[in-house]
Amino acid sequence: MYPELFKIGPFTVYSYGLMLGIAFITASWLLTKEIERKKLNPNLATEITILAIVFGIVGAKLLHLIENFDAFLNDPVGMAFSPGGLTFFGGLVLAIFAIWIYARRKKIPFLVIADATAPALALAYGIGRIGCHLAGDGDYGIPTNLPWGTNYENGTVPPSIMFQGSEIAKNYPGGIVPNNTPLHPTPIYEFLICVIIFTILWKLRKKDLPDLSADKAGGKAGWIDGKLFMIYLLFISIERFSVEFLRLNPRIIFDLSEAQLISVGLFFVGIIGLIYFAKNKDLKKFIPPPIEVSQKSKGKGQK
């Protein structure tokens, strides 16, 4: 694999960091488009993106340290400040919490912002997985004889202590997968699935607008705020739950990994949310206030 792409003077450009940057830039652009379509203040997109980056990385790192607490105790500084070692669900949960607080302060319903971020989240996660694949950082799958099995040579393999109790410890007691062993390229699987999820969500996002076509008596109300985000939770939880069966993560309970248990929780949140919306179709949609125009902008318009 290619954990290091090239160097610019004393600086090294890492494949994972580069793809993470591309993921955030893409998500920011998509979010800006959605914020504008929903007639919200365009500045929200920048502020939400910054919150997502900061709290997403912090949350992802914290959950990774919790998952690998023994390794963290052995090398706290190295584990805490390593460029890799990010767990998606930790970042997702903490970023959602931060954006929820932000939405309350801005007096905008959280679900409105959640709907706007859903497609961007799906695609950004998939792009980030390409970074994992290029770095070969331990997110690969179990051995396979399929033609597309991948040898993760030169990858950055985590310390063996992080794999205690996992499938890799059973198959490779030394903790490092041999270079000549083809493995399921699970990051590629996730990227492809996330592109499909993004495409579906991007097509569904305009369902929040009322359908006033002539062949529908009285028209049809748009989707309730939050429905698209609940669908995102369903898709992303099913995706991760399924792919985990091909990955090397430790099994915690009922032969399921931690990511699968979190996926089950998110799946039920999505189901409960959709059921609630189905039973409360008369919920009022958020109407954004007019965007304030600065005096400077007004002056330019009068010239």
Per-domain residue ranges of the chain:
4-199
DSSP string, 237-300: HHHHHHHGGGB-PPEEETTEEHHHHHHHHHHHHHHHHHHHHHH-TTPPPP-PPPPP--HHHHHH
Query: Other CB atoms closer than 10 Å to residue 301's CB: what's the count?
Result: 8
Distance of CA 112 to the CA centre of its chain: 18
Distance of CA 96 to the CA centre of its chain: 11
- Compute φ and ψ for 257, nearest 5 degrees: -85, 170
User: Taking CA 142 as the corner, what is the angle to CA 141 and CA 144, rounded to the nearest 5 degrees?
Assistant: 110
Q: Is residue 205 packed enough to be buried (19+ CB in 10 Å), middle (13-18) or exposed (0-12)? A: buried
Q: What is the pTM of this model?
A: 0.83
| pLDDT string in tens for the chain (303-residue length) | 777 888 888 888 888 889 989 999 999 999 999 999 888 888 898 999 999 989 998 998 888 888 777 777 887 887 777 766 678 888 899 999 999 999 999 888 899 999 999 999 999 999 999 988 888 776 778 888 999 988 877 655 554 445 555 566 566 655 556 567 788 999 999 999 999 999 999 999 888 655 444 445 444 556 788 899 999 999 999 999 999 999 877 788 898 988 899 999 999 999 999 999 888 876 666 666 655 654 454 555 554
Q: Which residue has the tokens 């399924």?
A: 242
DSSP string, 95-160: HHHHHHHHHHHHT--HHHHHHHHHHHHHHHHHHHHHHHHHHT-S--B-B--STT-B--TT--PPPG
Question: Is 273:226 a contact under the CB 8 Å cutoff?
Answer: yes
Query: How do residues 84-101 score in pLDDT, each as one tens digit?
Result: 667 888 889 999 999 999
